[in-house]
């Protein structure tokens, strides 16, 4: 099995952390979906990473589908709880964390454009999503040990990857100064081998 991914993608990192937690062997194929010669559209018509390629050639995307697949095929370290209520809670965390990444990625792309081509309203709209998203993460976490209570889950992985992506691309967003409970969680996550091994390279 192989994972087509860029090392800076927060969605790909979520999958790589899940693969490490579940101790699943795979080949990592590094690809930038933005490179002129990218082969990503050969695997995913949407041209996005991550893509997981099964041994029979089946391609899986996006990151949420891949993680659900991984959790289904291996019972090691369950990341998505079985009971439906808890399962939905964890998937909501993932949607929130991924949504923060969506807005953070949109901000990166917009601010790469020539200053005169940048749309200020669009930038403010995306920034507001990040700010509200962070507030919701912190409120939902409260003083719990992990996002979903007592047990480590996909909710923590998605949240940790989103926070680290903000550190990577938006160092000016001071989530650390505003949300000590998210800092505590991020520190705990960084100590896990799955996170330590997938730290994105600094640009
Ligand atoms: N919802 C998708 C998002 C994937 C995504 O947007 N990946 C970015 C890299 S961080 C990408 O490949 N962008 C290329 C493009 O939008 O053309 C997932 O969870 O996998």
Interval 70-89 mean pLDDT:
96
Q: What tokens appear for 54 in the block?
A: 């099964």
State residue 91's pLDDT score.
Answer: 98
What is the band of 203 on the pLDDT scale with cuts at 50, 70, 90?
confident
β-strands 27-30, 2-5: how paired? parallel
The phi-psi region of residue 152 (left if phi > 0; otherwise alpha if psi is between -120 and 50; otherwise beta) is: beta
Average pLDDT for the chain: 97
Mutate to test the pocket of ligand 1, among 5, 16, 33 (most ligand atoms within 8 A of CB): 33
This prediction's pTM: 0.98
Ligand 1 nearest-atom number relative to CA 62:
20
Residue pLDDT, tens place only, 145-176: 999 999 999 999 999 999 999 999 999 999 99
Q: How far is the CA of 49 from the centre of ligand 1 (A)?
A: 5
Q: How far is the CA of 105 from the centre of ligand 1 (A)?
A: 9
- Residue 27's SS3 state is strand
What is the band of 71 on the pLDDT scale with cuts at 50, 70, 90?
very high
Is 133 near ligand 1, meaning CB less than 6 Å away?
no
Q: How far is the CA of 143 from the centre of ligand 1 (A)?
A: 32
Is 63 near ligand 1, meaning CB less than 6 Å away?
yes
Q: How far is the CA of 33 from the centre of ligand 1 (A)?
A: 8
Residue pLDDT, tens place only, 92-145: 999 999 999 999 999 999 999 999 999 999 999 999 999 999 999 999 999 999
Per-residue pLDDT for 202 more than 90? no
Which of 153, 169, 107, 187 is CA-nearest to residue 14? 153
The phi-psi region of residue 47 (left if phi > 0; otherwise alpha if psi is between -120 and 50; otherwise beta) is: left
β-strands 59-60, 51-53: how paired? antiparallel
Q: Look up residue 116 and give its DSSP letter.
A: G
Q: How far is the CA of 25 from the centre of ligand 1 (A)?
A: 23
Is 161 near ligand 1, meaning CB less than 6 Å away?
no
User: Phi, psi at residue 52, to the nearest 5°?
Assistant: -110, 125
């Amino acid at each position: 099995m192989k994972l087509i991914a860029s090392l800076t993608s927060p969605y790909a990192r979520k999958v790589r952390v899940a693969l490490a937690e579940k101790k699943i062997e795979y080949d990592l194929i590094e690809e930038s979906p933005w490179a002129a010669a990218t082969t990503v559209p050969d695997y995913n018509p949407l041209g996005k990473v991550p893509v997981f390629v099964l041994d029979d050639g089946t391609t899986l995307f996006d990151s949420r589908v891949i993680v659900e697949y991984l959790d289904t095929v291996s019972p090691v370290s369950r990341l998505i709880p079985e009971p439906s209520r808890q399962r939905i809670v964890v998937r909501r965390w993932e949607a929130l964390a991924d949504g923060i990444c969506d807005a953070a990625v949109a901000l990166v792309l917009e601010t790469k454009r020539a200053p005169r081509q940048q749309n200020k309203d669009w930038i403010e709209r995306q920034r507001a999503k990040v700010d509200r998203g962070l507030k919701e993460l912190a409120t939902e976490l409260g003083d719990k040990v992990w996002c979903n209570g007592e047990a480590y889950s996909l909710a923590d992985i998605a949240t940790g990857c989103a926070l680290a992506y903000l550190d990577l691309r938006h160092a000016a967003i001071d989530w650390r100064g505003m949300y000590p409970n998210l800092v505590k969680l991020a520190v705990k996550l960084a100590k896990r081998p799955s996170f330590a091994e997938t730290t994105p390279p600094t640009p």
